[in-house]
């Protein structure tokens, strides 16, 4: 059986590569769209562009892609003695090139103007040429003609490869599913990560905060004020806050994502979730509300006797203290805590998954629970550090929480990226 090859973009560009030209050609031939092509090319990460090819066809792809300016590798690597040099550029034979060497290390190659059609600039048509350089548009004729020759050769090579690829399909189809890691690749998780990542998430949360500390603090103040005002409405206020909180969190996840992409975080991000799958984020709030109702009903049923006795002993502080530390009451609190943890596991990543991945509320909560279950140790470390930060932030009249809360929100986003993306 003959050996088959993969064509792999190494994530690197050739030193002489023209970035704008690479994006244009790659986008056109691979049909990814300019933005996706740009993210893939400049991610700095390897990606398999084609697989299951014989050696001859793989080397043709390698040559064509390296002409664009990409550094391409074949897996497995062909024998060195038979490798093909991909970066030769053929200049049309009708052009005379003269080397002007002034004793410098870098000699300048100039096109004899008499060989140009009408002694005019090949780009703008001006006759104002000196030493092969257009004095009007500033292009060097040799470089311009060499680029045109290279593009023509590349187009010819692509056409040749396409004509010989009937059995393989179009070689310049969008990259196949085994892309190693484009910047905006498909979600791959949830996956298990090392326990120490729990601390790294908080470090990344600090990075998010310090990029726009004033905006984050204002967001926290606005959120607190809104929550307080809405909560003043009897019963309905509590329900409204519970239903809408995931949408507000989703907006902050969008803000963190934009920071990750080099954008700015602003106060408006607090409400960005209302424009991104808001119906499903409200459903997350509804599922959470129903879960909490069931939780408290079950806990109340389990502890009803103790609570009733506690109410009857309100006038006797000693009896009330004994009731609070009774085995049944303590066991009930432990069981309640254990039942509360799965609810929070399902809730943690749901806003991010709904807003950024456009999932349904139910699917997002199931996936969030699975992600937390696979990363118990990192979350244990994260939880301990977060608890310490919350205590320290609460000491000066709670003002420190205006800084701690954004850090922990950014940490949740960082955990989402770490667990769901390689």
What is the mean predicted confidence (pLDDT) over 230-235? 90
Residue 396, pLDDT above cutoff 90: no
pLDDT of 54 higher than 90: no
Cβ-based neighbour number of residue 169 at 10 Å: 9
Distance CA 262, CA 184 (A): 14
At residue 266, φ and ψ (nearest 5 deg) are -135, 165
Of the given ranges (75-79, 253-257, 341-345), which has the lowest mean pLDDT? 75-79
Q: How far apart are CA 60 and CA 64, in angstroms?
A: 6
- Coil/strand/helix, residue 312: helix
Backbone angles phi, psi at 209, to 5 degrees: -65, -45
171 pLDDT tier (thresholds 50, 70, 90) = very low
| Average pLDDT for 331-349 | 80
pLDDT at 101: 38
Q: Where are the alpha helices (DSSP H) in 313-400?
A: 317-324, 327-348, 350-357, 361-373, 376-394
Predicted confidence (pLDDT) per residue in 20-43, tens digit: 777 777 766 665 666 677 777 777
Of all residues in the chain, the percent with pLDDT exceeding 90 is 35
Strand 97-100 relative to strand 108-111: parallel, antiparallel, unpaired? antiparallel
Angstrom distance (rounded) from CA 209 to CA 250: 17
More confident residue, 159 or 58: 58
Percent of the chain surpassing pLDDT 70: 67
Mean pLDDT over 332-347 rounds to: 79
Looking at the predicted structure, is the pLDDT value of residue 180 above 70? no
Phi and psi at 51, nearest 5°, equal: -140, 175
pLDDT band, very low/low/confident/very high, at 175 (cuts 50, 70, 90): very low
At residue 188, the pLDDT reads: 73
Per the model's pLDDT, the better-predicted residue between 347 and 166 turns out to be 347
Angle among Cα 38, 39, 40 to the nearest 5 degrees reads 90
For residue 253, pLDDT over 50 is answered with yes
Average pLDDT over residues 183-196: 75
Q: How confident is the model at residue 81 (pLDDT cuts 50, 70, 90)?
A: very low
pLDDT value for 309: 52
Q: Classify residue 415 by burial, with Cβ atoms within 10 Å: 0-12, 13-18, 19+.
A: buried
Model pLDDT, residue 282:
94
Model's pTM, two decimal places?
0.55
Collapsed DSSP state (helix, strand, coil) of residue 341: helix
Question: Cβ(145)–Cβ(92) under 8 Å?
Answer: yes
Q: Is 48 a residue whose pLDDT tops 90?
A: no
pLDDT score at 67: 79
pLDDT category of residue 332 using cuts at 50, 70 and 90: low
């Amino acid at each position: 059986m003959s050996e088959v090859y993969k064509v792999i973009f190494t994530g690197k560009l050739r030193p002489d590569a023209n970035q704008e030209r690479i994006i244009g050609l790659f986008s056109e031939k691979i049909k990814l769209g300019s933005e996706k092509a740009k993210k893939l090319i400049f991610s700095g990460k390897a990606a398999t562009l084609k697989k299951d090819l014989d050696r001859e066809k793989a080397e043709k792809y390698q040559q064509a892609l390296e002409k664009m300016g990409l550094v391409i590798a074949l897996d497995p690597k062909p024998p060195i003695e038979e490798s093909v040099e991909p970066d030769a550029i053929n200049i049309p034979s009708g052009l005379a090139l003269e080397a002007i060497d002034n004793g410098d290390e870098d000699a300048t190659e100039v096109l004899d103007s008499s060989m140009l059609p009408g002694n005019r600039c090949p780009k703008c048509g001006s006759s104002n040429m000196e030493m092969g350089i257009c004095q009007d548009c500033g292009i060097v004729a040799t470089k311009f003609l060499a680029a045109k020759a290279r593009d023509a050769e590349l187009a010819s090579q692509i056409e040749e490869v396409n004509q010989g690829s009937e059995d393989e399909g179009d070689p310049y189809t969008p990259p196949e599913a085994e892309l190693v890691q484009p910047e905006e690749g498909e979600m791959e998780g949830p996956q298990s990560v090392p326990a120490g990542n729990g601390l790294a998430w908080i470090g990344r949360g600090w990075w998010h905060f310090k990029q726009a500390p004033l905006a984050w603090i204002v967001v926290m103040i606005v959120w607190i004020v809104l929550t307080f005002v809405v909560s003043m409405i009897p019963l309905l206020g509590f329900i409204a806050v519970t239903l809408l909180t995931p949408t507000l969190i989703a907006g902050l996840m969008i803000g963190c994502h934009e920071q990750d992409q080099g954008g700015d975080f602003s106060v408006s991000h607090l409400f960005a979730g209302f424009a991104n799958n808001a119906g499903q984020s409200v459903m997350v709030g509804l599922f959470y509300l129903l879960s909490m109702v069931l939780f408290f009903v079950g806990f109340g049923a389990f502890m009803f006797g103790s609570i009733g006795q506690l109410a009857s002993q309100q006038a006797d502080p000693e009896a009330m203290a004994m009731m609070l530390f009774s085995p049944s009451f303590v066991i009930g609190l432990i069981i309640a805590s254990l039942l509360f943890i799965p609810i929070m596991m399902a809730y943690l990543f749901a806003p991010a998954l709904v807003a950024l991945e456009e999932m349904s509320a139910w699917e997002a909560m199931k996936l969030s629970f699975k992600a937390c279950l696979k990363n118990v140790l990192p979350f244990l470390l994260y939880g301990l550090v977060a608890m310490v930060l919350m205590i320290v932030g609460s000491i000066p009249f709670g003002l420190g929480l205006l800084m701690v809360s954004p850090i922990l929100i950014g940490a949740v986003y960082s955990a989402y990226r770490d667990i769901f993306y390689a």
